[in-house]
C-alpha cells in the first residue's frame, strides 16, 4: 500500500518569496493534517481537513499561510510571503478517522534565507 | 498548563538499561493516547497505542494514569536502535496534539 506522498522534499527560498507544498494521502483516508515541525520541537498542528472541509485551522497563520483540499484527496499548503521563522519541516499526515493512527509523509524541509 | 507536556530529556543511557519517560496532558476527556517514535530527520511513526490502563509490546510498556492525567513509556533492555525522539500524542476533541518529544540516546 502506498504511503503518504509529499513534494518537494527540500526547498530553499528567500524571505518574502512564496512556496507551495503538495500532499497525497493514503487512499481512503478522510482525515488529512498539516503539521509544522521546527528543529528540536514536536509537530505543531497547522490545519486539519475532514474530506474537503476544514476541522481546525486555529493555529494557521492565516495572514501568510493557506491550505486547500478541493476534492477531498490531495492537499496543498502555501506560504506567501515567507518569513525566516517559517524555516521548518512541513509534515503531512492522514488517518482513517480524526483520532486514529496518523501516517506521515517524509516531510518537506523549508529553509528561508 | 500545556496541553501535552513531556520530560524534556535528553536521556543518555547505556545498552541494557531500563528507561522511563512521562507525559502529562490537560484534557481530561481524552480516551486514547499514543506514543510515536521519530528518528533523526525522519517522519514520526506509531510505536504504541494506549486505550485503557496500559499496553505492553515486547520491551516496551505504556501505562496510563487517568486520575493524575499522565502516561508513561518504559523501555527495558535498551538497544542502540532505540535511540530516537519519543513523542507523546493526545487526541483533543477531533484532532491530535503532540508533545515536544523526549530524546533518548542509548550508548554502547
Say whether residue A25 is in contact with chain B using an 8 A CB cutoff.
Answer: no
Cβ neighbours of A56 in B, within 8 Å:
94-95
Average pLDDT over residues A83-101: 93
Percentage, residues of chain A above pLDDT 70 = 99
How many angstroms separate the CA atoms of B101 and B92, rounded?
18
Kindly report the nearest CA distance between residue A104 and chain B, in angstroms. 6
Q: How confident is the model at residue A2 (pLDDT cuts 50, 70, 90)?
A: confident
Say whether residue A50 is in contact with chain B using an 8 A CB cutoff.
Answer: yes
Kindly report the nearest CA distance between residue A112 and chain B, in angstroms. 18
Say whether residue A35 is in contact with chain B using an 8 A CB cutoff.
Answer: yes
pLDDT for res A69: 94
As a whole number, the mean pLDDT across chain A is 94
At residue A36, φ and ψ (nearest 5 deg) are -110, 125
The alpha carbon torsion through A2, B95, A77, B6 (nearest 10 deg) reads -90
Say whether residue B20 is in contact with chain A using an 8 A CB cutoff.
Answer: no
How many angstroms separate the CA atoms of B30 and B4, rounded?
11
The alpha carbon torsion through B50, B51, B56, B57 (nearest 10 deg) reads -70
Mutate to test the interface with A, among B27, B86, B88, B95 (most CBs of A within 10 A): B95
Query: Does residue A77 or residue B66 have the better pLDDT?
Result: A77
pLDDT for res A101: 87
Residues of chain B with pLDDT under 50: none
How many angstroms separate the CA atoms of A3 and A28, rounded?
11
Say whether residue B98 is in contact with chain A using an 8 A CB cutoff.
Answer: yes
Kindly report the nearest CA distance between residue A41 and chain B, in angstroms. 5
Mutate to test the interface with B, among A43, A44, A58, A93 (most CBs of B within 10 A): A43
Over the stretch A32-71, which tens digit does the pLDDT of each residue have?
A: 999 999 998 899 999 999 988 999 999 999 999 999 998 8
Say whether residue A111 is in contact with chain B using an 8 A CB cutoff.
Answer: no
Contact A91 B43 (CB under 8 A): yes
Contact A43 B44 (CB under 8 A): yes
Residues in B 50-79 with any Cβ partner in A closer than 8 A: none
For residue A60, the SS3 value is coil
Which sign does the torsion angle of CA A3, A8, A11, A14 carry? negative
Amino acid at each position: 500500500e502506498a504511503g503518504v506522498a509529499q513534494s518537494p522534499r527540500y526547498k530553499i527560498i528567500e524571505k518574502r518569496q512564496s512556496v507551495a507544498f503538495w500532499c497525497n494521502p493514503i487512499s481512503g483516508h478522510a482525515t488529512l493534517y498539516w503539521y509544522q515541525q521546527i528543529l528540536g520541537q514536536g509537530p505543531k498542528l497547522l490545519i486539519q481537513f475532514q474530506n474537503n472541509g476544514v476541522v481546525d485551522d486555529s493555529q494557521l497563520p492565516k495572514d501568510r499561510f493557506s491550505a486547500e483540499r478541493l476534492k477531498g484527496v490531495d492537499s496543498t499548503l502555501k506560504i506567501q510571503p515567507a518569513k525566516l521563522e517559517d524555516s521548518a519541516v512541513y509534515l503531512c499526515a492522514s488517518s482513517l478517522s480524526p483520532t486514529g493512527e496518523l501516517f506521515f509523509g517524509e516531510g518537506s524541509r523549508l529553509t528561508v534565507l | 498548563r500545556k496541553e501535552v507536556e513531556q520530560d524534556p530529556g535528553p536521556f543518555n543511557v547505556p545498552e541494557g538499561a531500563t528507561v522511563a519517560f512521562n507525559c502529562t496532558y490537560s484534557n481530561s476527556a481524552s480516551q486514547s493516547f499514543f506514543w510515536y517514535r521519530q528518528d533523526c530527520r525522519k517522519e514520526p511513526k506509531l510505536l504504541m497505542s494506549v486505550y485503557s490502563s496500559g499496553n505492553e509490546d515486547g520491551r516496551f510498556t505504556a501505562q496510563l494514569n487517568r486520575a493524575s492525567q499522565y502516561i508513561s513509556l518504559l523501555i527495558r533492555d535498551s538497544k542502540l536502535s532505540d535511540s530516537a525522539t519519543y513523542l507523546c500524542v493526545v487526541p483533543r476533541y477531533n484532532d491530535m496534539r503532540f508533545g515536544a518529544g523526549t530524546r533518548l540516546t542509548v550508548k554502547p
